[in-house]
Chain A
Amino acid sequence: MKDLSRKLALPAAAAALFATPALSQSLDETINTAFAASTGWFVSLIFAPIPGTSFPWIVAWLVVGASIFSIYFSFVQFRVLGHSIALVKGDYSDPNDAGEVSHFQALATALSGTVGLGNIAGVAVAVGIGGPGATFWMILAGLLGMASKFTECTLAVKYRNEYEDGRVSGGPMYYMTKGFKIRGKPGGKILAIVFAVFTILGSFGGGNMFQANQAHAQLTNVFGDFPGFITGLVFAAIVFAVIVGGIKSIAQVTEKVVPFMGVLYVGTALIILLINMDKIGWAFGQIFEGAFTGLGVAGGLAGALIQGFKRAAFSNEAGVGSAAIAHSAVRTKEPITEGFVALLEPFIDTVVICTMTALVIIITGQLMVDPATGLYIVGESGAIQTVDGNSGVALTSAAFSQSIPFFRYILVVAVILFAFSTMISWSYYGLKAWTFLFGEGKTTELVFKLIFCFFVIVGAAASLGPVIDFSDAAIFAMAVCNISALYVLMPIVKAEMDSYLSRLKSGEIRKFA
């Protein structure tokens, strides 16, 4: 691989630009240290353990939230699946609304924001630390998260702003302010402001730096080592061209290519699973056994559970409130229908795509087992030792290329495209939060966009540890505000749901021929 890297234009140009590698390496280090130092307090606050345990309170917060929504809506995520698919197909769409945003389009756009490196790199982190058992908890979190997504997206459509010129703006900021007022509860505005601040941080973290970081990791993994800020500069330049330069064609091309990349990624994973078909039973055995015993991973059962839930939440963003911004643009008279459609998102993202990644890593035997005890060998860092000492996206890459070496190149393309589309989506989410706080206007918007591009460079240059910590912390901080608001507003959703489902049953709502 080192030979190949010399033939490639990117590292070569980089070497010419920065003739002294020592200098550029130290720049990466400086960025990394400064970043870790300035974000550490925020990270430790969010991930503080529940007193007397080692269990982070934030993970409990997400699990409890998703469980409460599942129970409160009588497991809506399993009852309406068939109807959800009919809605996406457009069976219930008024033909006179053709040309408006369809359910399919809102779902596809939201998905391209959530299907990202969380599905590829995040899962590797979960399985690498929590063992195969983390997969079980991840799937469970995905299934429960469908109820959170349902709640937040229904509210986002119901309480969106429709401006006179026909544009729409929606998201948690709007249902917090409007919904609280309607329910006669105080504090909606303050909650919305805090949420918007965390959304901006989240758009710099998980929606940006984590993506740039892991895209760079995968590039160096395949093409040889080169300084991170170079990847960062290239990415930042393209993001700049799209969000500041208004070159929509790049974003449009990405939007069209990403769904096919998703299919290609799942297809590739399926091929690997087919090659190793004899081990699928064993892999599920490991997943179930690990889920309840931990199989020797750091923290045992709790360790697997924490990792599974954390990475699932990071990947499908259920309860976080981000995708609600994208879903709110749909054209429908029934806000609840978008909730029904949105609940497919965690299913596709986590239950399907994340599980694929986890199975590939487990089946290809990347995690090292002690032959004497049958337990996983845990290294000093607390992570399970892997065959080549990989973690994050490199671990997924090793797993994918083990059966068929060529697959690592498919993965590079997938990683870069997923990273890019997630960045574009999150730049929009962040911008919406920013304009909510500071008002709309060319200058204020430009300021946000420039900061966003700057963080692309920081993310690519910093090392995985601090970046992933900050990304998680910012995204989970959003969930703290959002799930609080959902508790207050969930009776509204319940009323909408009951009314809609009874009208559906009575035949008042029917398919357009």
Chain B
Amino acid sequence: MSSTIVVAYDGSDSAERAMAFAVERAKAIGGSILVAHVLEWSPYSFLTAEELEERHIRRKEEMARAKEVLVEPELAKLASSGVPVSSDIRYGHVAETIIKIAEESAAVQIVIGRQGQGSFAARFFGSTAGTLVQTCPVPLTIVP
């Protein structure tokens, strides 16, 4: 069983740097990479009746888009590095879900970029990296 490193990936520049760092680490320890992408979602948000009706189909579309546009190109890129890779796309609170993915895959480490997308809102509500610093159960590396 190789040591898994979970990389929180959202396609941003800083996520790319985090990925590069994680690949080096994985090579060094002979481990594998798990590309984790989380779609921000709260079961306590308010939707209109029309949104309720279309929710299931929108979810499928969003998942497919995340897979095709973000995750699969990244996996293709990583294939050349020789490091074993896998991926996981989920809905939920970003920091909490990343931790859950790490726990389920028995990851040895989480790597995340310092600044993901939508940093403006993060200034008010706290960033994902900031939340992970406080709650992460495994070693965490934040790549600037």
Contacts and interface: CB of A to CB of B under 8 A. Distances in A.
Contacts of B63: 99
A255 interface: yes
A106 B63 CA distance: 22
A3 to B, nearest CB: 38
Interface stretch (B7-15, B19-27, B54-62, B108-116): B54-62
Nearest to B57: A166
B55 A251 contact: no
Interface residues of B, number: 26
Contact of B56 (A168, A248, A428): A168
Interface stretch (B38-46, B68-76, B127-135): B38-46
A104 B90 CA distance: 20
Contact of B91 (A98, A169, A425): A98
Interface in A256-292: 256, 258-259
A109 B56 contact: no
Given A90-B43, A255-B46, A98 B92 contact: yes
Contacts of B44: 102, 104-105
A333 interface: no
A344 interface: no
Contacts of A339: none
Contacts of B59: 99-100
A428 B46 CA distance: 16
A429 B46 CA distance: 18
Interface residues of A, number: 36
A108 B55 contact: no
A108 B46 CA distance: 7
B49 A428 contact: yes
B56 to A, nearest CB: 4
A103 to B, nearest CB: 8
A380 interface: no
Contacts, number: 86
A226 B89 CA distance: 56
A165 B57 contact: yes
Interface in A420-462: 424-425, 428-429
Interface in B81-124: 90-92, 97, 100
A109 B52 CA distance: 8
Given A104-B44, A255-B48, A325-B49, A99 B54 contact: no
B46 A329 contact: no
Contact of A259 (B46, B54, B55): B46
B52 A166 contact: no
A250 B56 CA distance: 22
Contacts of B43: 90, 93, 98, 102, 104-105
Nearest to B48: A251
A429 B53 CA distance: 12
Contacts of A112: 46
Which among B56, B62, B63, B92 has the greatest number of chain A C-beta atoms within 10 A? B56
Contacts of A166: 56-57, 60
Contacts of A105: 43-47, 52
Contacts of B53: 167-169, 329
A105 B63 CA distance: 20
A167 B56 contact: yes
Interface string A399-415: 00000000000000000
Interface in A66-117: 90, 93, 95, 98-102, 104-106, 108-109, 112-113
A99 B100 CA distance: 16
A166 to B, nearest CB: 4
A99 B47 contact: no
A382 to B, nearest CB: 37
A428 B41 CA distance: 24
A335 to B, nearest CB: 16
A100 B47 contact: no
A243 B43 CA distance: 25
Given A93-B43, A95-B92, A101 B56 contact: yes
A35 to B, nearest CB: 27
B46 A100 contact: no
B46 A109 contact: yes
Contacts of B57: 165-167
B57 to A, nearest CB: 4
10 nearest A-B pairs in the assembled complex, by CB-CB distance? A99-B91, A166-B57, A102-B43, A329-B52, A98-B91, A428-B49, A166-B56, A255-B46, A99-B59, A101-B55
Interface of A: 90, 93, 95, 98-102, 104-106, 108-109, 112-113, 165-169, 248, 251-252, 255-256, 258-259, 325-326, 329-331, 424-425, 428-429
11 contacts: A99-B55, A101-B47, A101-B52, A105-B43, A109-B48, A167-B54, A248-B50, A251-B48, A256-B46, A326-B52, A429-B49
Given A109-B46, A248-B50, A248-B51, 5 more contacts: A98-B97, A101-B52, A101-B55, A326-B49, A424-B48
